Chains A and B, each alone.
Chain A
Amino acid sequence: AQSVAQPEDQVNVAEGNPLTVKCTYSVSGNPYLFWYVQYPNRGLQFLLKYITGDNLVKGSYGFEAEFNKSQTSFHLKKPSALVSDSALYFCAVRPTGGGNKLTFGTGTQLKVEL
């Protein structure tokens, strides 16, 4: 069975500072990993994915994520946070064996303050 852990319920960061939202996963075989963002009363918006290849993945709105196979982690990063980045962030894993069943982490609320 696959699982995702997001150890921080909330991350606070000052605008202009770098941000990191942590994610670790457990899956048999090679994972497909995703980050999604959710704004209040909205659906999930895709940010980026890791399928294979380069461990540093670049996505939308200046976000990037680093895949670390030995630590089974896929942390989301941004060099300079904006107040508008404040939202709920979800890490998800999908098995490579077919189908589209996503297993999500519990989510991390990011709060960027002036």
Chain B
Amino acid sequence: KAGVTQTPRYLIKTRGQQVTLSCSPISGHRSVSWYQQTPGQGLQFLFEYFSETQRNKGNFPGRFSGRQFSNSRSEMNVSTLELGDSALYLCASNDLARDKNTEAFFGQGTRLTVV
């Protein structure tokens, strides 16, 4: 079974631009979550999608948004990029619908650098 796939792996953007990151969950998983990892703030929860609906949201500004498609693939978008948005963005998928005790499986992440 293929794992969680995130594309692209690396991205360099300029301040003020916008960016879209993609995540393909493990086949059959309907829950997809996004996290931001930075040296200063650590791992912070962005949002979670389940069956195309946002189920949970972290404390991030509205510039951060996401969506989930009917095949469970998810995208997150960051508009008007700031230098502080430079981070490793991690996606995780979970099969909570089948087993509420199951763990989340993470992708390799997308390293975003804003210059």
Mark A residues whose CB is within 8 Å of B: 32, 34, 36, 41-46, 49, 51, 90, 98-107
> What are the nearest 10 A-B pairs in CB distance?
A43-B106, A104-B43, A44-B106, A51-B101, A101-B56, A43-B108, A100-B94, A99-B56, A100-B31, A106-B42
Chain B residues near A45: list those with CB within 8 A. 106
Q: Are B90 and A43 in contact (CB under 8 A)?
A: yes
Q: Which of B6, B43, B56, B105 contacts A90 (CB 8 A)?
A: B43
Taking CB as reference atom, which chain A residue is nearest B109? A43
| Count of chain A to chain B residue pairs whose CB atoms are closer than 8 Å in the complex | 62
In the complex, the answer to whether B90 meets A44 with C-beta atoms within 8 Å is: yes
* Secondary structure class of chain A's binding surface, majority of residues: loop
Q: Once the chains bind, are A101 and B107 in contact (CB under 8 Å)? A: no
13 sampled A-B residue pairs with Cβ under 8 A: A42-B109, A43-B4, A43-B107, A44-B92, A44-B106, A49-B101, A99-B56, A100-B31, A100-B96, A101-B45, A101-B48, A101-B58, A103-B45
B111 interface contact, C-beta 8 A: yes
Given contacts A41-B111, A102-B45, list 16 more A-B pairs with CB under 8 A.
A32-B101, A43-B4, A49-B103, A98-B100, A99-B55, A100-B48, A100-B55, A100-B104, A101-B58, A102-B33, A102-B35, A102-B43, A104-B42, A105-B42, A106-B42, A107-B42
How long is the Cα–Cα vector from A45 to B4 in the complex, in angstroms? 11
Q: Collect the chain A residues with CB atoms within 8 Å of residue B94's CB.
A: 100
A105: chain B residues within 8 A (beta carbon): 42
* Complex: A52 Cα to B98 Cα, angstroms: 18
Q: Which residues of A contact B42 (CB under 8 A)?
A: 104-107
Least CB distance from B60 to A in Å reads: 13
Q: How far is the CA of A111 from the CA of B112 in the complex (A)?
A: 27
A42, B108: Cβ atoms closer than 8 Å: yes
Residue from the list A46, A106, A107 in contact with B105, Cβ < 8 A: A46
Find residues 1-37 in chain B having any chain A CB closer than 8 Å to their own CB. 4, 6, 31, 33, 35
Chain B residues with Cβ below 8 Å from A46 are: 103-106
